[in-house]
């Protein structure tokens, strides 16, 4: 059981570290959102799984609470993360930040007024 | 009447989530009475605040239990597989720095708000693709893609089986 917990923690830490590296490596806000929110989500999923497994291994009331709350935290993370990154990206594009080195930008061609024109 | 049903349903769902959160905490059965009281008040407030938005445009069909079952199957099956594969792909791009970004446009053919939200969240959670905007009239998705293979892609090229599952679960 301990081995499983350590494995989950190691995978989680590795992906979180990759997310941090992505902030330095990637050139603009959109690609950084890819690295910094997605890699860290995947890393956090494994960290939370480690907590849940630890809670189940402990057993009893306290361990059960820990496991249930860990899974709820995972659920809320999966719901709020895409909403937050979508809001960041949409806000960035609406305030005029162009994607760096983009091969296409269909949203720029259409413009943000496309809702009024059917 | 419809308004009352809307907020009552939302409050009930919020209370169920609270029951899961507060499980194993009390000596009175599984839950402590003061926790239940606090949960009830919070669930009512949540219902009053969000009931209006949750059920517009065919949201009621989300209460059908087989959709929840399908959602669980989707979550542990195709979604987890796609997410893990895409994570390794993006991890490789972080290390090598090989990117080919762009914002592409495609139409997955979804009609309801929930279906679109579902697909947009699935796309955004998968590394390498990020929903920047959705045209609410035509249902066109604008997706920032870290490795553009095709400037005029189909929905399948960007997000694989996700639109099919969004249609099955949410529409």
Residues in B closer than 8 angstroms to A18, CB to CB, are 91, 94-95
Model confidence over B2-22: pLDDT tens digits?
Answer: 778 888 888 888 888 888 877
Could you tell me how many CB contacts below 8 A there are between chain A and chain B? 136
Contact between B67 and B104 under an 8 Å Cβ cutoff? The reply is no
**ipTM, 2 decimals?**
0.79
The closest CB to that of A68, out of B23, B131, B133, belongs to B23
Report the pLDDT value the prediction gives residue A112, as an integer from 0 to 100. Answer: 63
Residues in B closer than 8 angstroms to A83, CB to CB, are 121
CA B74 to chain A, closest CA, distance in angstroms equals 14
Contact A107 B120 (CB under 8 A): no
Helix (H, G, I), strand (E, B) or coil at B23: coil
Model confidence over B108-139: pLDDT tens digits?
Answer: 888 888 888 888 888 888 888 888 888 888 88
> Which of A115, A94, A9 minimizes the C-alpha distance to A52?
A9
Altogether, the residues listed in chain B come to a count of: 171
Q: What is the DSSP string of B140-159?
A: -EEEEESB-S-SS--HHHHH
pTM of the model as a whole: 0.81
Local confidence pLDDT in tens for the 118 residues of chain A:
889 999 999 999 998 998 888 888 888 888 888 887 888 888 888 999 999 999 888 877 778 788 888 888 888 888 888 888 888 888 888 888 887 777 777 777 776 654 444 3
- Tell the residue number behind the tokens 């989530």, with chain if given: B17
CA B14 to chain A, closest CA, distance in angstroms equals 13
Report the pLDDT value the prediction gives residue B41, as an integer from 0 to 100. Answer: 92
Contact between B116 and A71 under an 8 Å Cβ cutoff? The reply is no
Contact between B81 and B133 under an 8 Å Cβ cutoff? The reply is no
Contact between B144 and B103 under an 8 Å Cβ cutoff? The reply is yes
In whole angstroms, give the CA distance from residue A108 to residue B135.
Answer: 13
CA quadruple A77, B171, B64, B40: dihedral positive or negative? Answer: positive
Class of residue B72 by CB neighbours under 10 A (exposed 0-12, middle 13-18, buried 19+): exposed
| Residue B96 binned pLDDT confidence (cut-offs 50, 70, 90) | confident
Contact B101 A35 (CB under 8 A): no
CA B8 to chain A, closest CA, distance in angstroms equals 22
- Tell the residue number behind the tokens 């719901």, with chain if given: A79
Contact A25 B94 (CB under 8 A): yes
Contact between B134 and B120 under an 8 Å Cβ cutoff? The reply is yes
Contact A99 B103 (CB under 8 A): yes
Helix (H, G, I), strand (E, B) or coil at A106: helix
Contact between B147 and B93 under an 8 Å Cβ cutoff? The reply is yes
Quick one: fold of A2-115? Helix Hairpins (1.10.287)
Contact B127 A104 (CB under 8 A): no
> Phi, psi at residue B104, to the nearest 5°?
-105, 165
Contacts of B6 (CB under 8 A, 6+ apart): B51, B52, B54, B55
Find the residue in B nearest to A41 (Cα).
B125
Contact A101 B104 (CB under 8 A): no
């Amino acid at each position: 059981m301990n081995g499983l917990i350590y494995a989950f923690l190691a995978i989680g830490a590795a992906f979180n570290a990759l997310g941090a590296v992505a902030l330095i490596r990637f050139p603009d806000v959109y690609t950084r959102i890819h690295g910094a929110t997605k890699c860290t989500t995947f890393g956090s999923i494994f960290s939370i799984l480690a907590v849940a497994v630890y809670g189940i291994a402990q057993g009893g009331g306290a361990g059960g609470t820990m496991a249930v709350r860990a899974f709820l935290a995972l659920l809320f993370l999966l719901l709020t993360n895409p909403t937050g990154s979508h809001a960041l990206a949409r806000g960035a594009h609406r305030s005029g930040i162009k994607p760096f080195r983009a091969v296409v930008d269909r949203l720029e061609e259409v413009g943000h007024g496309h809702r009024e024109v059917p | 009447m419809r308004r009352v049903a809307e907020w009552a349903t939302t409050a009930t769902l919020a209370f169920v989530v609270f029951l899961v959160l507060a499980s194993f905490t009390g000596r009175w059965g599984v839950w402590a009475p003061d926790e239940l009281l606090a949960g009830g008040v919070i669930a009512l407030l949540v219902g009053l605040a969000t009931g209006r938005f949750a059920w517009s445009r065919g949201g009621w069909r989300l209460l059908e239990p087989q959709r929840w079952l399908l959602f669980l199957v989707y979550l542990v099956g195709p979604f987890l597989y796609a997410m893990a594969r895409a994570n390794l792909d993006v991890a490789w791009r972080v290390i090598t720095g090989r990117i080919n970004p762009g914002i592409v446009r495609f139409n997955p053919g979804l009609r309801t708000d929930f279906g679109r939200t579902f697909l947009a969240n699935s796309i955004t959670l998968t590394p390498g693709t990020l929903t920047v905007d959705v045209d609410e009239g035509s249902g066109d998705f604008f997706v920032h893609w870290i490795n553009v293979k095709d400037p005029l892609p189909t929905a399948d090229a960007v997000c694989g089986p996700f639109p099919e599952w969004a249609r099955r679960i949410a529409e």
